[in-house]
Chain A
Amino acid sequence: MEVKVNVNGTERSANVEPRQLLVHLIREEFELTGTHIGCDTSSCGACTVLLDGQPVKSCTMFGVQADGREVTTVEGMMRADGLHPVQAAFKEHHGLQCGFCTPAMMLVGAALIERNPNPSDEDVRWAISGNLCRCTGYMNIVKAIQAAAASAEPATA
């Protein structure tokens, strides 16, 4: 089947089997390898992307379901004038070690601070409770997302 997806602001298309998972559509057909696969039971969240702005596990969706919709991956986080505040904060606050969970964590963090501009420690931990990290112990991830919220420009009305 033909599937057309708006990926990071660009229209992309591919011809795929319905059973091809969205994460494979992104990684193999669209050649964006920043989205990662960490498990096979939809438990780890490493594959998280934004679908019309909402975090979804791209390993638990078929690519064809994203037809006509907008997908944001880590590669689309950069802004015209530089790093997204979440990206910059992750580096500044040592929010990553091996980097494998990082794209997902950053996207979830970015989605969170969009709707909650001043998240508490608990708010952040709850929001990322669908994303596993084995390296960091989460403290700096939480710090980074809160710092990004504090530094981000207020959302335009």
Chain B
Amino acid sequence: MATETEEIRGIGHSVRRVEDDRFIRGVGNYIDDIHLPGMLHMAILRSPYAHANLKGIDATRAQALPGVIAVVTGELMAQHNLAWMPTLSGDTQAVLVTDKVRFQGQEVAAVVADDPYVARDALELIDVDYDPLDAVTTPQQALEDGAPLIRTDKEGQENNHVYSWETGDKEATDNAFSQADVVVSLDTFYPRSHPAPLETCGCIADISPATGQVTIYMTSQAPHAIRTVFALVAGLPEEKIRIVSPDIGGGFGNKVPVYPGYVVATAASLLLGHPVKWIEDRSENLISTGFARDYHMRGEMALKKDGTMLGLRASLLADEGAFFADAQPSKFKAGLFHIVSGSYDLPATHVSAQGAYTNKAPGGVAYRCSFRVTEASYLIERLVQNAANELGMDPVDIRKKNFIDKEQFPYTSATGFVYDSGDYHGAMDKALGMIGYDELRKEQADARAQGKLYGIGVASFTEVVGAGPAKDYDIIGVKMNDGAELRVHPTGKAILKLSCQTQGQGHETTFAQIVAGELGIQPEHIKVMHGDTDNTPYGLGTYASRSTPTSGAATAMVARRVREKAMKLAAHLLEVAAEDIEYQAGTFSVRGAPDQVKTIQDVAFAAYTNYPEGMEAGLEGVYYYNPPNLTFPFGTYVVSVEVDPDTGVWNVRRMVAVDDCGVRINPMIVEGQITGGLTEGYATAAMQLITFDELGNAIGTNFMDYLIPTAWETPKFELGETVTPSPHHPIGAKGVGESATVGSPAAYVNAVIDALQPLGVKNIDMPLTSAKVWEAIQAAKVS
């Protein structure tokens, strides 16, 4: 075969995505596109009350409706031990209500019918007798003496307290505070929001009465983990369970948990002997599935009067909803919040966290972020803004003064993270240069003289992703090692099977590029498979930006394993010793005799037709990667805004985002991820909100009330980069899918607060609606 002279499109190429071919033609395969013979349709009846005893359910009228096959209640599920299920945080969650309702929107019963319209009609015909109770609607209220007890189902649970957790060094931190010239504090609430991917959650459960094979098509970011949960929960033999994640229309963490709808559909399929499809609608998605954030935070920082940071304290109160179902590593009740010292060289940090039950939906997913890192990053970057104001320092100067220096990496933080690499000054300087920071400040001074409110906001975040090393990280006991399986075919093409699960990140292209970079096979000749537990290696899935750090590493490592064997095959073909073979970009040559060359295609063919005595045929491998550490992407974002003092309306004038995620596999895709994240950050800062009235009624449970910005509101972004590879990752990459969602909310808020500084406004909690901004201006006038 002729040697290819074409450049190999591996790492660093903006390869156009192979998955696009089906999406642009409208032949993607999303869950609702799948039809199975004999399939039935399920709809769920949900509680209108946030807290209520269940007195009884009468489904007679519903069962009589033509087309209704069955009505499933908690009583029926309990007979099969399926009325409750474990959560990913070691708690239990109701599948269908048996005793009482604990949040508005909770699953009460389900109808299975031969038509989705009939299923919905039948919901109205189910009579439920509720006895409403007082609802607990804030975690503060939940922890008061005499608050209604929510988890009456849990033996030994006497109050609404879920956990206490702390980390860091309290003594050292108290010491630091006692030596401070200045203590700056911030009380802030990171409100409940929801990932709201454009495709809602759903499944088709298909249990074959003949074989007992359980196939569940499911919108899942973690199919293998779900399969194990199903085996444990339903008592079904694990080898008979196959979870298939088809194309997923966005995840953002919302598609990690196991939802009651999945379990009910599975039970229904088991009982009825037919496939059962359940697709939730948007209102159900927003009222009942994995929400995010809902964190009450108090931060305090101790500083010297020259702006040197001495210590940091954070105390947190998490609203966990009715069931503790955070999807995060089991050892860390507050996720990776203890990254809260962020980009700063802080000698002492202490974090204490409490969790409370409330009458709200359970969740706490990592919404386009690593676990609780958005909350931490928001707190520190807002606190630094306050500190800058108190000390009369420029927010850039105080950051630069305290940044961890490039030479200090690997850097061990006061809470035990070992930051792999960073160049915070580099990213900051790049961002300042791109936006023209000094000119902006001059412009601001001129604008202020005219009574205009211009503001500039800075955020310099450090994220921690890629969970994680086996010694510290697991979810429900399962270690977070992810795998990759690679086989090279006789004609030199390949198939790569992954344990992670794309929901739009472009893995079918980027992971092929990783293999291309190691083996010299063009990415379009590498088929990437994922999402089918029968056909892929075991792993914990895609969320918290972990795919590149874990599966990406596993892919590089398995490709290197394959390359090792390829070298031996090449040596055999070229009749030299393996040590004499040199590899470069898909070609194997003899050291010192560069005209003696074999290609990867030659070698692949030989693996099946001409391999040495004693060697196994084939050219493939499996690798499970145990990351030695997490990775730490970082960046600096600078936002310039104008606020209309008469209406509180604010607009982004410019937004510069400099990201460093180490080596960029596909720059085009990386920029796409960042742009999307900056938009979600803007949405969080400006408009997204799920809130509750005092009766526990949820507000923000459809897209009229839960606001997603359109292209018209969304700012334009200017992207820049620095590249500081991760020293421990096989290809130096860190992961980037979520950095912008983590780092940007504080940048936007800091900008508005900066604009309002002359008026004395110090804090506004998100979302910064025009009404809230105006109210804050009025309140500052009074005080």
Contact = CB atoms under 8 A, between A and B. Distances in A.
Interface in B250-308: 250, 252, 281-283
B703 A96 contact: no
A117 interface: no
A83 to B, nearest CB: 7
A134 B20 contact: no
Nearest to A124: B711
A98 B23 CA distance: 8
B27 A34 contact: yes
B668 A94 contact: yes
Interface string A39-82: 11101101000000000000000000000000001110110000
Nearest to B669: A94
A88 to B, nearest CB: 8
A132 B281 contact: no
A77 B17 CA distance: 20
Interface string B706-730: 0010111010110000000000000
Contact of B250 (A73, A77, A129, A134): A134
Nearest to A21: B117
B335 interface: no
A11 interface: no
B327 to A, nearest CB: 19
Contacts of B17: 91, 94
A125 B702 CA distance: 23
Residue of B20, B26, B282, B504 with highest tally of chain A CB at under 10 A: B26
A101 B32 CA distance: 14
B505 A20 contact: no
A110 to B, nearest CB: 12
Nearest to B504: A98
Contacts of B117: 17, 19-20
Interface in B475-504: 503-504
Contacts of B195: 134
A143 to B, nearest CB: 11
B272 to A, nearest CB: 21
B368 to A, nearest CB: 9
Interface stretch (B151-159, B443-451, B673-681): B673-681
Contacts of B332: none
B196 interface: yes
Residue of A41, A91, A92, A97 with highest tally of chain B CB at under 10 A: A97
A149 interface: no
Main SS at interface, chain A: loop
A90 B24 contact: yes
A64 B625 CA distance: 55
A112 to B, nearest CB: 12
Contact of A129 (B669, B679, B710): B710
A100 B24 contact: no
A132 B708 contact: yes
Give the bracket for the number of chain B residues in contact with chain A.
35 or more
B199 interface: yes
B194 to A, nearest CB: 11
Contact of A133 (B32, B198, B248): B198
Nearest to B251: A98
A82 to B, nearest CB: 11
A79 B487 CA distance: 37
Main SS at interface, chain B: loop
A131 B195 CA distance: 17
Nearest to B282: A39
Given A94-B672, A97-B672, A99-B504, A126 B26 contact: no
Contacts of B711: 124-125, 128-129, 131, 133, 138, 141-142
Given A97-B672, A100-B250, A134-B252, A83 B710 contact: no
Residue of B200, B247, B712 with highest tally of chain A CB at under 10 A: B712
A140 B26 contact: no
A37 B32 contact: yes
B24 A98 contact: no
B714 A96 contact: no
A43 B702 CA distance: 9
B406 interface: no
A62 to B, nearest CB: 12
A136 B198 contact: no
A74 B195 CA distance: 26
Interface string B656-683: 0000000000001101110111111000
Given A87-B24, A134-B196, A41 B504 contact: no
Contacts of B282: 38-41, 44
Given A98-B504, A137-B679, A73 B24 contact: no
20 contacts: A36-B198, A38-B199, A38-B282, A96-B20, A96-B504, A98-B247, A125-B711, A125-B712, A128-B711, A131-B711, A132-B708, A134-B195, A134-B252, A134-B676, A134-B708, A137-B672, A138-B711, A138-B714, A139-B675, A141-B711
Interface of B: 16-17, 19-28, 30, 32-33, 117, 195-200, 247-250, 252, 281-283, 503-506, 668-669, 671-673, 675-680, 702-704, 708, 710-712, 714, 716-717
